[in-house]
Structure 1
Amino acid sequence: MLRRLYDRTMALADHPHALWWLAAVAFVESSVFPIPPDVLMIPMILARPSRAWLIASVALVASVAGGLLGYAIGALFYETIGQPILQAMGKGDAMEAFNTKFNDFGFWAVLGAGVTPFPYKVITIMSGWTGMPLATFMATSVLARALRFFVVAALLRVFGAPIRSFIEHRLGLVFCVFIVLLFGGFFALRYL
């Protein structure tokens, strides 16, 4: 089933309204959809490199808007369903401690999920669920998603088709290493 969904998504890259399809995929990927917008972005940019920045911008705006939906899902379902269940089980206080810890590192969680292969939708929903300040969530989402989509667009615009394999198979690893080094640097500055 996932393969058929992937193939269908790839076919949308050739559609005359591909930018609208990209916006739709980027929007729902940020809250519920399992296929990242990169699968549409890559063939679209390879077909028309002169539109790389437009394509990345559409993905950015739609993804951040979809992130707001994920945030709302987390905020609304936690308040109406999750919190009463946890209170009934006597776990309400433990959840408050988790929320505080998550929000202490919320900027990094959103940044990491926004640029790495980690599902961004998980963090968007958790951000709403834990009550992360909306301004922090939005600013970090814009930064993370812009970094991800514009790096992909720049690589494809400069290197073209030969970079496609690297982006599809190794760019996530590069972003993961970047985040680990960034965390490591801050840890070293603070504790060493």
Structure 2
Amino acid sequence: MRLFETLYARALVWARAPRAVYYLCALSFFEAFIFPIMPEVMLAPMMLGKRHKAFFYANLSLLFSLLGALVGYALGHWAYETVKPLLSVHMQQVITVWVDNLRTDMNQHWLAMLGALTLAALQPVIPMKLVTWAAGIVGVPVLPFLACVAVGRGKRVWLLALLIRLFGERAERMLHRNIEWIGWAALVLLGLLLGWWLWSRG
């Protein structure tokens, strides 16, 4: 099943459309809290088409990723508060203990938490949605949260812009070859994290 290659192909069509910039903004925005395909799949061909605008596209994607991260943060906070009363008393207790423990760790290890957020935003394996929703649930302060996402995601899109400027189509082909395993690896990791959490609290 080539799910992510299909989505990748769709993103390439968007990248070549006359309104590609608008599609890039939308993809960057929604990927931060719900969509499974990272913006780099549109950024790479758009940057290849206009290499002199590579960093402009990177900054535009970063801006809308930050806006989407705010939405994911808000959804994490409000969905958690809304759904919690619908759960069983036992499950409410388990989730409350988990969230309280994370908040305690956050307060006791502030710099480590900021580093973890930055690394999570930097690499493509942990879905950005998991980071933004979890930050909202735990209550990471908004400004440090945005700063970490900006640094982590910024390094990703700026590095891509630099690679495109230096290596051109070879950088895009590398992304194309690996998109399927990156997508499935992200889903498997998310499932393992969820399973581990349920098992450890059982």
Q: 2:103 aligns with which of 86, 99, 106?
A: 99
Distance of 1:9 and 1:20 partners within structure 2: 12
- Which blocks of at least 5 consecutive residues in structure 1 are unaligned? 174-192
Q: Residue 111 in 1 paired to residue 118 in 2?
A: yes
State the match for 2:20 in structure 1. 18
2:125 is the alignment partner of 1:121? no
Alignment match, 2:53: 51
Of 75-84 and 122-131, the range deviating more from structure 2: 75-84
In 2, are the aligned partners of 1:75 and 1:131 still within 8 Å (CA)?
yes
Question: Which of 1 and 2 has higher RCO (CA within 8 Å, sep 6+)?
Answer: 2
Residue 102 of structure 1 and its aligned partner are, at CA, apart by 5.2
Scaled by the length of structure 1, what TM-score is found? Answer: 0.80
Tell me which amino acid in the other structure corresponds to 2:82: T
Q: Which amino acid aligns with 2:10?
A: R
Percent of pairs with identical residues: 30
Query: Structure 1 pair 77/10, CA: closer, same or farther in 2 (3 Å)?
Result: same
Aligned partner of 2:10 in structure 1 is: 8
RMSD: 2.5
The letter for the 2-side match of 1:63 is S
Measured against aligned partners, the alpha-carbon deviations of 1:18-46 in whole angstroms (never above 9, x if no partner) come to 11100100000000000000000000011
Cα distance in 2 between the residues matched to 1:112 and 1:30: 15
- What are the ranges of 5 or more consecutive residues in structure 2 without an aligned counterpart? 183-202
Q: 1:52 to 1:70 in 2, by over 3 A?
A: same
Match of 1:178 in 2: none
Alpha-carbon distance between aligned partners in 2 of 1:82 and 1:38, rounded to the nearest angstrom? 35
Superposition TM-score, scaled by structure 2 size: 0.76
Cα offset, 1:70, TM superposition? 0.6
How much does 1:9 deviate?
A: 1.3
